[in-house]
Amino acid sequence: MKLSHFNFNLPQELLAEYPAENRDESRLMVLNRKEQTIEHKQFKDLIDYFEPNDVMVVNNTKVFPARLYGNKEKTGARIEVFLLRELNSETRLWDVLVDPARKIRIGNKLYFGDDESLVAEVIDNTTSRGRTLRFLYDGSYDEFRQKLNDLGETPLPKYIKRDTEPEDEERYQTIYAKNEGAVAAPTAGLHFSKHLMKRLEIKGVDFAEITLHVGLGTFNPVEVEDLSKHKMDSEEAYITAKAVDVINQGIERKQKVCAVGTTVMRALESSVSSEKTLNEFRGWTNKFIFPPYDFSIANCMITNFHTPKSTLLMMVSAFAGHDFVKEAYDQAVKEKYKFYSYGDAMLII
């Protein structure tokens, strides 16, 4: 498979700027791989496709307010700083992206907040837009993190052209988000409401929680025609013994094991035993899944509608079959499904 196989024409108006009014009332396209059928439902109809002891695996990562705006010393130029990851908590070193990058050089200082109580010094260049910052703040580590939270805003993806609104703080987060560390939401999970999760639990569906801290690498464009030459950014993942037990029981009973999102699928496929069961995992994964690929753990997945040529679309094509996914996406465009992070969902069984 080549990069050009994953291109399609996506009208601009199908990019979701806002989420559905109610989480579980976004649209749901259901793909049945065995029957090769496509149905059009609402997300809350998901419950009709699951039985007692089926397993849903969710990513409980929590998005932190990663986008800050500061001013450059002397010139006062407004600079966007996007926090990617903490490199050292003691020295308050962070890996960040800056925009506009051409103005930001090693040794520059940036000031944040009306009172300029938070300062950062640029100590290294990492990529064209990437920098390493050392934050300077008079206070404990907890107070420093609270300051970042207070000054930061919800990191909506760049394609959403509007300003961040107060509702985004809640809606760009799954209802089961717990472990802070993501700079983008695991968006398939955004469709679950408390009511739907309760109904699934009452029906007897088991939930397993794993953590994969979504990085911006998820959105990195693939720039090579030969997919085997693309390198994924590493993301931190944790799969606990408790999750492993629930998931392996599901595999043993030949139940549905449903990966809620591409991030879950990537984490699961990063820790497979020789018996095709799941192992505990704690570390970093740069797993890149594209067709053809033999999946070992999940036999069902929930995902959103993705960008042309994206690694996420490649994974979905590997799971459901390239031609079938192409047909589904053609229908999605025709039926005006909403795409990307705040868009509609797909269930593949």
The answer to whether the beta carbons of residues 67 and 157 sit under 8 Å apart is no
Cβ density class 217-235: b for 16+ within 10 Å, e for less: bbbeebeeeebeebebeeb
Average pLDDT over residues 306-330: 97
According to the model, what pLDDT value does residue 22 have?
Answer: 97
- Nearest-angstrom CA–CA distance, 2 and 7: 10
Of 158, 279, 172, which Cα lies nearest the Cα of 220? Answer: 158
Domains detected in the chain? 3-63+169-348 (3.40.1780.10), 67-153 (2.40.10.240)
Span 48-69, mean pLDDT? 97
pLDDT for 159 beyond 90: no
Residue 138 tokens read as 């008079």
Residues above pLDDT 70, as percent of the chain: 100
Token pair 């999750």 in the structure block, residue: 243
Partner residues linked to 237 by β-bridges: 212, 283
Percent of the chain at pLDDT above 90?
88
- Residue 42, beta-bridge partner list: 27
Residue 115 confidence (pLDDT): 87
22-50 pLDDT, tens digit each? 999 999 999 999 999 999 999 999 999 99
pLDDT at residue 218 greater than cutoff 80: no
State the pLDDT confidence band at 138, using cuts at 50, 70 and 90: confident
Whether this model's pTM surpasses 0.95:
no
CA angle 91, 95, 101 (to 5 degrees): 125
> What is the model's pLDDT at position 158?
85
Contact partners, residue 305, CB within 8 Å, separation at least 6: 329, 332, 337, 338, 339, 340, 343, 344, 345, 346
Kindly state the average pLDDT of the residues 168-181.
Answer: 96
The confidence score (pLDDT) of residue 123 equals 95
